[in-house]
Homo-oligomer: A and B are copies of this chain.
Amino acid sequence: MSDPDGTAGEDAPALTIDADRFRRSFEAYSEIGATENDGLHRLALSDADATARDRFVDDLQALDLAVTIDEMGNVFGRREGTDPDADPVLIGSHLDSQPRGGRYDGQLGVLVALETLRALDDHGIETTRPVEIVNWTNEEGSRFENPMLGSGVFTDNVDLEEAYDLRDGDGVRFVDELERIGYRGETSCEPRSIHAFLELHVEQGPTLEERGTPVGIVEGVFGMAWLEATIEGRADHAGPTPMHARSDALAAAAAAIDEIEALPGRLSEDAVATVGRLDVEPNSVNVIPSRAEFTIDVRSYDDATVEAAIDRASAEVEAASDRVGADASVSELWRIPHTEFSSRVCDAAATAAEAVDADAERVVSGAGHDAKYLNDVTDAAMLFVPSADGITHNEAEFTPWDDCVAGARTFAEATRRLAA
């Protein structure tokens, strides 16, 4: 391997991980919140999340890392470098899961980062820069409906007090749960100087598998928006109310959802639109629904396409509601433009993949990740490993173990290079 710039770190042999230890860790963490179908049910700030966090802190302390917990519950472990003034390389992902989700989403990225730190210790490698590992709080946004919450506050994208005030479906406040599980730390959650952020994650789509490539180097993330549509009709008895006399909120919602599903195909090659949540009132078999509330998730790498999808989806909700004489409103819950990741970090990952002899190619992410927010305050990028059949947010989520190892080797070596 030649290195014209001649830094010692880049000349060194690629960092070797212990694939067996990595697998044992993965199996052990997967038992925390395990479902009977080999999935994970480890919602943010639940008891299972607390157990996983406790184990994570134990593992960091076993490596003699300096552990800090910030006021959002983000957990950091710092391994010092030789230069006391150098900004750290930050690596990690999240330990929370979707409801009855998979074992790879989030957790794999944290454990790849943990294995990287263990491997640095194995070989007694001193890096110039500190390396910090992180577990971000509430990445999923399924319990507290604002995804990437811990990294959102860390990067000033989300206000701390707003995050604290979020409530789950049972009305429980985020900050109260954070306190309850003992992870409301003292350290301020705010931007600080970081040299680079690298996150490994499962792709959650079919592209890498279709192409037969074990490692994706993620150059950017789709722009995305979450809308909430509310349709207010009128409850009436399902028997004696003729069809013409109805104002059926669910009938309007169904018509709108049917149109929204067809929108992406009319807008662009990459656009997607999803109605994931729908709640009906009073939700009784023989009562015409008075109210339907549903979310619309729209995404594309092109921000103008997202804008157009928002406009057209809103228009479909209005039109369908008008037809049955119902009132409609559509509000924006959340929206972010597309992201272009750091070419410096992507290049380091590509070089690392070559060094460890892993097949890799450049891809774009349809999913939001903590790295998306981190890119606002530092140079960030991601590595993907394939998701079998593109299945994710599902107990059947699966990545072949060889691909996990290829990703971990690339990740460890990229981290070493970024910190060298």
Determine if A205 and B241 form an interchain contact, defined as CB atoms under 8 angstroms apart: yes
Interface residue A64 (Cβ < 8 Å from any Cβ of B): no
Determine if B289 and A284 form an interchain contact, defined as CB atoms under 8 angstroms apart: no
Q: Which of B238, B278, B284, B392 touches A237 (beta carbons < 8 Å)?
A: B392
Interface residue A30 (Cβ < 8 Å from any Cβ of B): no
Determine if A276 and B272 form an interchain contact, defined as CB atoms under 8 angstroms apart: no
Determine if B391 and A236 form an interchain contact, defined as CB atoms under 8 angstroms apart: yes
The stretch that binds B, out of A66-74, A177-185, A191-199, A250-258, is: A250-258
- Shortest beta-carbon distance, A307 to chain B, in Å? 17
Q: How many residues of A contact B (CB 8 A)?
A: 69
Interface residue A35 (Cβ < 8 Å from any Cβ of B): no
Known: A238-B299, A253-B254, A254-B257. A276 touches B285 (CB 8 A): yes
- Shortest beta-carbon distance, A301 to chain B, in Å? 11
* Cα-based distance from A5 to B342 in the complex (angstroms): 101
What string of 1s and 0s marks CB contacts (under 8 Å) between A281-300 and chain B? 01111111110000101010
Determine if B289 and A240 form an interchain contact, defined as CB atoms under 8 angstroms apart: no
Determine if A240 and B366 form an interchain contact, defined as CB atoms under 8 angstroms apart: yes
Q: Which residues of B contact A235 (CB under 8 A)?
A: 391, 393-394
* Cα-based distance from A207 to B240 in the complex (angstroms): 9
Interface residue A147 (Cβ < 8 Å from any Cβ of B): yes
* Cα-based distance from A273 to B284 in the complex (angstroms): 14
Known: A205-B240, A205-B242, A234-B391. A142 touches B276 (CB 8 A): no
Q: Which residues of B contact A392 (CB under 8 A)?
A: 236-237, 240-241
Interface residue A155 (Cβ < 8 Å from any Cβ of B): no
Which of A100, A207, A278 has the most C-beta atoms of chain B within 10 angstroms of its own C-beta?
A: A278
Q: Which of B257, B285, B288 touches A251 (beta carbons < 8 Å)?
A: B257
Interface residue A264 (Cβ < 8 Å from any Cβ of B): yes
- Shortest beta-carbon distance, A268 to chain B, in Å? 11
Determine if B295 and A275 form an interchain contact, defined as CB atoms under 8 angstroms apart: no
Interface residue A368 (Cβ < 8 Å from any Cβ of B): yes
Determine if B274 and A238 form an interchain contact, defined as CB atoms under 8 angstroms apart: yes
Determine if B272 and A238 form an interchain contact, defined as CB atoms under 8 angstroms apart: yes
Q: Which residues of B contact A393 (CB under 8 A)?
A: 235-237, 282, 284, 286-288
Interface residue A28 (Cβ < 8 Å from any Cβ of B): no
Q: Which residues of B contact A34 (CB under 8 A)?
A: none
Q: Which residues of B contact A1 (CB under 8 A)?
A: none
- Would you list 29 pairs from A and B whose C-beta atoms are within 8 A, ordered by A residue? A98-B284, A141-B285, A142-B284, A142-B287, A145-B285, A204-B241, A205-B240, A205-B245, A206-B242, A206-B245, A235-B394, A239-B272, A239-B365, A239-B367, A239-B368, A241-B366, A242-B272, A243-B264, A251-B275, A254-B257, A254-B258, A254-B261, A258-B258, A276-B280, A276-B284, A276-B286, A276-B287, A276-B289, A287-B393
In the complex, besides A205-B237, A240-B390, A241-B272, 17 extra interface pairs with C-beta distance below 8 angstroms are A142-B285, A145-B285, A147-B286, A205-B239, A206-B245, A235-B394, A236-B391, A236-B393, A237-B366, A243-B272, A243-B273, A245-B390, A254-B258, A276-B284, A277-B284, A278-B280, A284-B393
